[in-house]
């Protein structure tokens, strides 16, 4: 099967970045240069650059050009994406460590977040998502067993909790808060960071049509992660 031109261009750019030939903040070829090099239209070259910008691999600067993005990972705060897809979109390897997967009794804050009675059973998972083997996100998730009864039977090395939940209980609403935190020793150990490193924490609740599906706490090392987004005003 012939590879589409825009995909060839994306692979070409990724190879140069991965090899170190194009360092962080280096300018990449323009749309016109890529179109000429690959024998394609400018629109095709633009698509390749745009998809890499959206994935956080490249950054655009109005009037200056397109550059290799900071080596920090980038995620959109305006949408909920599967972290495994985000990592793979950057051309990097994704892996996960499942630390805990069990049924627990809900303390008051968790019960309130899930709309359940205090002390009732909830499902709990604790995972570390890694990019090229380096911890990028510590995911602590509490799940409503009334809506997701098969949660504990899933293999989360094969698909992420977000991916599974999106399949069995399509999301209709999500709310989150974002804050900088000083991580506790156990979090530092799991993320393999120094105690002095600040982290970015996202607290997120998600709903399906049947009610609250999950309550999650996502913690990211400040040196490896950033949030970004793009707004279009009409």
Summarised one tens digit per residue, pLDDT across range 134-193 is 999 999 999 999 999 999 999 999 999 999 998 998 887 888 888 999 999 999 999 999
Strand partners, 215: 142, 205
Tokens of 181: 């935190």
CATH 3.40.1410.10 residue ranges for the chain = 73-228
Q: What is the mean pLDDT of residues 201-214?
A: 90
DSSP state of 27: B
Q: What is the mean pLDDT of residues 64-85?
A: 71
pLDDT tens readout for residues 32-43: 999 999 999 999
Class of domain 73-228: alpha beta
pTM above 0.85, yes or no: no
Q: Which CATH architecture has domain 5-68?
A: Orthogonal Bundle (1.10)
Q: What is the pLDDT of residue 26?
A: 87
- Distance in angstroms (rounded) separating the CA atoms of residues 75 and 84: 12
For tokens 């979109």, name the residue.
Answer: 89
* C-beta separation of 131 from 92 below 8 A: yes
DSSP 59-82: EEETTTEEEEPPSSEEEETTS---
Higher-scoring residue by pLDDT: 131, 18: 131
181 φ/ψ angles, rounded to the nearest 5 degrees: -135, 160
CATH 1.10.10.10 residue ranges for the chain = 5-68
């Amino acid at each position: 099967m012939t590879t589409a031109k825009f995909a060839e261009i994306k692979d070409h750019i990724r190879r140069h970045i991965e090899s170190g030939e194009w360092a962080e903040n280096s300018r990449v070829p323009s749309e016109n240069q890529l179109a000429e090099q690959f024998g394609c239209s400018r629109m095709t070259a633009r698509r390749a650059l745009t998809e890499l910008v959206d994935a956080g691999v490249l950054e655009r600067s109005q009037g200056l050009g397109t550059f290799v993005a900071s080596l920090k990972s980038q995620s959109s705060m305006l949408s909920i994406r599967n972290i495994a897809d985000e990592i793979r979109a950057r051309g990097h390897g994704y892996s996960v460590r499942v630390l805990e997967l069990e049924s627990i009794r809900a303390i008051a804050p968790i019960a309130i977040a899930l709309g359940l009675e205090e002390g009732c059973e909830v499902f709990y998972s604790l995972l570390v998502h890694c990019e090229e083997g380096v911890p990028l996100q510590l995911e602590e998730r509490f799940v409503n067993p009334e809506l997701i009864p098969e949660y504990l039977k899933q293999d989360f090395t094969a698909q992420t909790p977000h991916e599974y939940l999106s399949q069995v209980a399509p999301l209709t609403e999500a709310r989150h808060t974002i804050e900088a935190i000083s991580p506790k020793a156990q979090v530092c150990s799991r993320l393999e960071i120094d105690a002095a490193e600040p982290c970015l924490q996202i607290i997120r609740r998600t709903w399906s049509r049947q009610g609250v599906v999950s309550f999650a706490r996502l913690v990211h090392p400040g040196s490896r992660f950033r949030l970004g987004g793009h707004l279009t005003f009409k």
